[in-house]
């Protein structure tokens, strides 16, 4: 096996006088932050890919040998992942046998016809070009995938782009079978990759960066139409009068489960809650026996995409707070959700501001000076934003003038704790809210003058578990949070995943849902550890993950306001966040209150967040009792959003997810 691999790799790398060399630029908010260099020689490719994102980012070399049919028969990927974990991945297809080994898998599979396309666990963007071309060569216009699945492609639109005196025809393809939803890629007439567009990020042929806005706009229009067509079939009009009988109501105001009630909804508003069942002619009647009706859930930390909408609604998440996005993109998504042309939650936007540096945020608005940062606050205020989020590169001396200026405009200020300062400093200088538990732990384990940004997760992971949570320093800081009425958005799930998920093992945060997800999603999202967890650090990381839960409960006991946010996979991560809040020791009823009426109140909404006469019908119906078992929050049978209703099992099936109830 090793000799064969060596021979095949020599065939790839032995002649680097490549017939064709193509260079690409990786762009973040229009600025070059990375590159890809591809060298073609007959059926072989040598790919070097990297980009930088706030001090993180992958750095990969990908060596590939193709068959005449376009299938990968040998691949070697080396380098490091986005978070810096080592990559050493091999694949061979020889004598009808496929063998591959990476941090996730060490597998062998017999392929009688040698016809399956390998998707590397840590591959480069170039794989989309190769996959599309393999599908186009296939008689069935589809290919089996390794480790599993089937991929197809659809040609969507061809446009002509011009750069000075050079014109190119490029075509947008959708690739189905790699995840919940299609992947998109732009190829030129030679079937070479031209561009990949991912919102605020993307990759394009070198010298053509000025065309990315046009490419992104066209792709977004097509993507929106794709979801609009799906949404049309999956959205049901609620009858003018809808009655839910014999239902148990969780009232997030008094935290009580009211048994066997009748709820009457008229024109999208709760008009009656009765103990005796009325019979209303021509009403739509829903049987709520042994079910729990409660307000729709809130996810208070998202960076939403159009694709997230359907999974959020299927998961009962009817409201989200977006804490950093490209304004025009977000407003387009919000309009699609608000008009019900695409299934999705209500969006409450937060405007992100960072200082313009190499480590700046990949979205939002960047400021070269304090004066420019204040102008950005004016800009967000004019657009109707009610909150500002500060990011990690903000100069500490900017915090006080920014928060004072925002408060004068009745805007709250939240954020990461900027580098070279502490959470205590940020709180004392005007912060209203802190995002992420690691930002709080930095207050105790990182010196103010220690620039942590290139090790912001490993540093806390190494040291966090050793923090004395009974120390006066910790207790005094929690008292400060309470006295200043600071809100904390701990995003516990992402840190449980970060510090406990070993590569090749199912992420413990998602063990209960893994069997419901497509195999490709499990592999790409749940088996790929973000950090290099090994015998040297695993105990320290586990202690830190546990300390985050303990600290959260200490804040709750002290009366500090906690919110439930995710910063990760739509829908499912919020369910896990609620489970972790309960695991930390917060009573289930209080956890549900955090995810409903408390979130609504913090966003200035008094007509949603509870099941009350006069409120909007922003509701979920659960097959179970989440007050008894918080995990029942996954068993949602119906979602009502004003005058529309959705059946989660249908939404899940539409994106390849096995429903949690039938």
Alpha carbon distance 406, 355 (integer Å): 16
What phi, psi does 218 have (nearest 5°)? -65, -45
Residue 244, C-beta contacts closer than 8 angstroms, at least 6 positions apart: 262, 263, 265, 286, 288, 293, 621
Q: Which two tokens stand for residue 322?
A: 């977006």
446: pLDDT strictly greater than 90: no
Q: Which strands make up the sheet holding 561-562, listed edge to edge?
A: 365-367, 351-355, 387-390, 412-415, 433-435, 487-489, 561-562
158: pLDDT strictly greater than 90: yes
55: pLDDT strictly greater than 70: yes
pLDDT value for 426: 96
What average pLDDT does range 439-444 have in this prediction?
A: 92
pLDDT digits (tens, 9 = 90+) for 164-185: 889 999 999 999 988 888 899 9
Region of poorest pLDDT, from 8-12, 192-196, 230-234, 548-552: 8-12
pLDDT digits (tens, 9 = 90+) for 458-517: 889 899 999 999 999 999 999 999 999 999 999 999 999 999 998 888 999 999 999 898
Closest CA to 58 of 32, 80, 33: 80
256: pLDDT strictly greater than 80: yes
1: pLDDT strictly greater than 70: no
Total tally of structural domains belonging to the chain = 1
267: pLDDT strictly greater than 90: yes
Flag whether 133 is in a domain.
Answer: yes
What average pLDDT does range 374-390 have in this prediction?
A: 97
Flag whether 528 is in a domain.
Answer: no
Q: How confident is the model at residue 523 (pLDDT cuts 50, 70, 90)?
A: confident
Q: What is the 3-state secondary structure (H, E, C) of 413-446?
A: EEECCCCCCCHHHHHHCCCCEEECHHHHHHHHHC
Percentage with pLDDT > 70 across the chain? 96
Query: DSSP code of 516?
Result: G
pLDDT value for 3: 41
Flag whether 135 is in a domain.
Answer: yes
Q: How confident is the model at residue 13 (pLDDT cuts 50, 70, 90)?
A: very low
What average pLDDT does range 145-170 have in this prediction?
A: 91
Region of poorest pLDDT, from 438-442, 556-560, 653-657: 653-657
Flag whether 517 is in a domain.
Answer: no
Region of poorest pLDDT, from 132-146, 335-349, 590-604: 132-146
Closest CA to 209 of 31, 57, 20: 31
User: Is the CB of residue 29 less than 8 Å from the CB of residue 61?
Assistant: no
Alpha carbon distance 333, 482 (integer Å): 36
Region of poorest pLDDT, from 315-329, 508-522, 585-599, 621-635: 508-522
Through-space distance between the first and last CA atoms of the chain, rounded to whole angstroms = 47
What average pLDDT does range 259-281 have in this prediction?
A: 95
Region of poorest pLDDT, from 16-20, 417-421, 431-435, 539-543: 16-20
14: pLDDT strictly greater than 70: no
What average pLDDT does range 190-219 have in this prediction?
A: 93
Q: How confident is the model at residue 15 (pLDDT cuts 50, 70, 90)?
A: very low
Alpha carbon distance 50, 44 (integer Å): 20
pLDDT value for 115: 80
pLDDT digits (tens, 9 = 90+) for 347-370: 999 999 999 887 777 788 999 999
Flag whether 540 is in a domain.
Answer: no
What average pLDDT does range 551-569 have in this prediction?
A: 97
Q: Which domain holds residue 72?
A: 2-233
pLDDT value for 449: 63
pLDDT value for 103: 83
123: pLDDT strictly greater than 70: yes
Count Cβ atoms below 10 Å from residue 453 Cβ, excluding itself: 17
Flag whether 456 is in a domain.
Answer: no
Alpha carbon distance 21, 464 (integer Å): 47
Give the mean pLDDT of the chain: 92
16: pLDDT strictly greater than 50: no
Flag whether 378 is in a domain.
Answer: no
Flag whether 567 is in a domain.
Answer: no
pLDDT value for 450: 62
pLDDT value for 451: 61
pLDDT digits (tens, 9 = 90+) for 289-328: 999 999 999 999 999 999 999 999 999 999 999 999 999 9
CA dihedral 544, 549, 551, 557 (to 10 degrees): -170
Residue 519, C-beta contacts closer than 8 angstroms, at least 6 positions apart: 147, 148, 149
């Amino acid at each position: 096996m090793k000799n064969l691999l060596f021979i095949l790799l020599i065939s790839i790398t032995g002649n680097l006088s490549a017939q064709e060399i193509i260079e690409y630029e990786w762009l973040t908010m229009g600025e070059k932050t990375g590159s890809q260099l591809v060298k073609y020689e007959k059926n072989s490719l040598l790919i070097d890919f990297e980009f930088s994102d706030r001090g993180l980012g992958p750095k990969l070399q990908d060596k590939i040998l193709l068959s005449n049919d376009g299938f990968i028969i040998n691949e070697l990927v080396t380098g490091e992942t986005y978070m810096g974990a080592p990559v050493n991945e091999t694949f061979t297809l020889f004598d009808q046998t496929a063998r591959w080994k990476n941090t996730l898998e060490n597998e062998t599979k017999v392929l009688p016809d040698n016809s399956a396309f390998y998707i590397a666990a840590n591959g480069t963007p170039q794989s989309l070009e190769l996959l599309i071309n393999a599908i186009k060569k296939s008689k069935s216009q589809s290919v089996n995938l390794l480790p599993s699945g089937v991929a197809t492609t659809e040609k969507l639109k061809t446009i002509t782009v011009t750069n000075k005196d050079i014109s190119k025809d490029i075509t947008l393809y959708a690739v189905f079978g790699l995840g919940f939803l299609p992947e998109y890629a732009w190829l030129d007439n030679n079937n070479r990759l031209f561009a990949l567009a991912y919102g605020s990020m993307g990759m394009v042929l070198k010298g053509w960066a000025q065309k990315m806005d046009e490419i992104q706009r066209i792709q977004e229009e097509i993507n929106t139409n794709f979801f609009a067509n799906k949404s049309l079939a999956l959205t049901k009009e609620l009858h003018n009068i809808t009655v839910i009988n014999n239902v148990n109501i969780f009232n997030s105001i008094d935290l009580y489960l009211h048994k066997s009630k009748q709820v009457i909804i008229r024109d999208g508003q709760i008009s009656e809650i009765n103990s005796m069942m009325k019979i209303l002619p021509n009403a739509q009647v829903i049987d709520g026996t042994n079910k729990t009706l409660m307000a729709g859930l809130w996810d208070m930390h998202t960076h939403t995409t159009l694709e997230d909408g359907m999974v959020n609604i299927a998961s009962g998440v009817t409201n989200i707070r977006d804490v950093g996005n490209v304004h025009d993109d977000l407003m387009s998504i919000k309009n699609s959700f608000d008009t019900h042309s695409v299934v999705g939650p209500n969006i409450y936007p937060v405007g992100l501001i960072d200082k313009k540096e190499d480590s700046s945020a990949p979205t939002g608005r960047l400021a070269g000076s304090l004066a420019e940062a204040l102008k950005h606050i004016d800009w967000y205020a004019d657009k109707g934003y009610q909150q500002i989020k500060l990011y990690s590169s903000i100069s500490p001396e900017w915090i006080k003038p920014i928060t004072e200026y925002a408060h004068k405009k009745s805007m709250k200020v939240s954020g990461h704790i900027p580098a070279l300062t502490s959470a205590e400093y940020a709180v004392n200088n005007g912060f209203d809210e802190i995002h992420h538990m690691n930002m709080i732990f930095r207050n105790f384990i990182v010196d103010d003058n220690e620039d942590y940004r290139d090790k912001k997760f490993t540093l806390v992971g190494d040291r966090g578990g050793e923090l004395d949570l009974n120390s006066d320093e910790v207790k005094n800081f929690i008292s400060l949070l309470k006295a200043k009425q600071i809100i904390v958005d701990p995003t516990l799930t992402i840190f449980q995943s970060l510090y406990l998920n070993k590569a090749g093992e199912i992420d413990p945060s998602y063990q209960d849902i893994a069997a419901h997800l497509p195999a490709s999603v499990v592999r790409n999202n749940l088996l790929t550890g973000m950090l290099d967890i090994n015998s040297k650090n695993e105990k320290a990381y586990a202690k830190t993950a546990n300390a985050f839960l303990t600290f959260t409960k200490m804040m709750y006991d002290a009366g500090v306001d906690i919110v439930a946010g995710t910063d990760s996979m739509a829908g499912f991560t919020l369910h896990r966040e609620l489970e972790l809040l309960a695991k930390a020791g917060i009573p289930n009823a209080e956890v549900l209150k955090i995810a409903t009426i408390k979130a609504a109140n913090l966003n200035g909404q008094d007509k949603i967040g509870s099941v009350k006469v006069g409120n909007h019908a922003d509701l979920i119906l659960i097959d179970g009792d989440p007050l008894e078992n918080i995990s029942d929050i996954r068993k949602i049978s119906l979602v009502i959003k004003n005058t529309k209703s959705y059946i989660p099992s249908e939404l899940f099936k539409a994106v390849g997810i096995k429903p949690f109830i039938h």
